[in-house]
């Protein structure tokens, strides 16, 4: 099993460009989430989903959109990139039961110029 796969691993964008970060998992997990990791701020939840067709906002949702059309995929969209969105983005998944640990992807390092 590949686990959680994120693409791309690195990306540089110009301010105002749009982009989709891909996340796929092959463990049939219901719960998927996106975090951003910034120095001194730890991991902050952007959006999450508890199943196909269900998404909700996390702590820092502004500037990001998500959708969950299948159990496997949970893409994160930046509609108009801003320098403040320069960060490392992690996708994670887990079974729906809250006591289960999350499985993380390798991360996407995104720079907005």
Partner 1 sequence: AQRVTQPEKLLSVFKGAPVELKCNYSYSGSPELFWYVQYSRQRLQLLLRHISRESIKGFTADLNKGETSFHLKKPFAQEEDSAMYYCALHSGTYKYIFGTGTRLKVLA
Q: How far is CA 110 from the centre of its chain?
A: 12
Instruction: State whether the Cα torsion 19-87-110-8 is positive or negative.
Output: negative
Contact stretch for partner 1 (CB under 8 A) within 12-20, 66-74, 76-84, 89-97: 89-97
Number of residues that bind partner 1 (CB under 8 A): 25
**Binding mask 32-51 vs partner 1 (x if CB under 8 A, - otherwise)?**
-x-x----xxxxxx--x-x-
Q: How far is CA 30 from the centre of its chain?
A: 15
Structure tokens at 98: 């809250």
Q: Provide the binding-site residues for partner 1, judged by CB under 8 A.
A: 31, 33, 35, 40-45, 48, 50, 56, 58-59, 90, 92, 96, 98-99, 101-102, 104-107
């Amino acid at each position: 099993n590949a686990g959680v796969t994120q693409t791309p691993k690195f990306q540089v964008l110009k301010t105002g460009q749009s982009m989709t970060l891909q996340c796929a998992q092959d463990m049939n997990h219901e719960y998927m989430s996106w975090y951003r990791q910034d120095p001194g701020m730890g991991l902050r939840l952007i959006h999450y989903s508890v199943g196909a067709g269900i998404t909700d906002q996390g702590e820092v949702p502004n500037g990001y959109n998500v959708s969950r059309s299948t159990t496997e995929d949970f893409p994160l969209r930046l509609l108009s990139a801003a320098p403040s969105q320069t960060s490392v983005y992690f996708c994670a998944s887990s079974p729906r039961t809250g006591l289960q640990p999350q499985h993380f992807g390798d991360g996407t390092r995104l720079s907005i110029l």
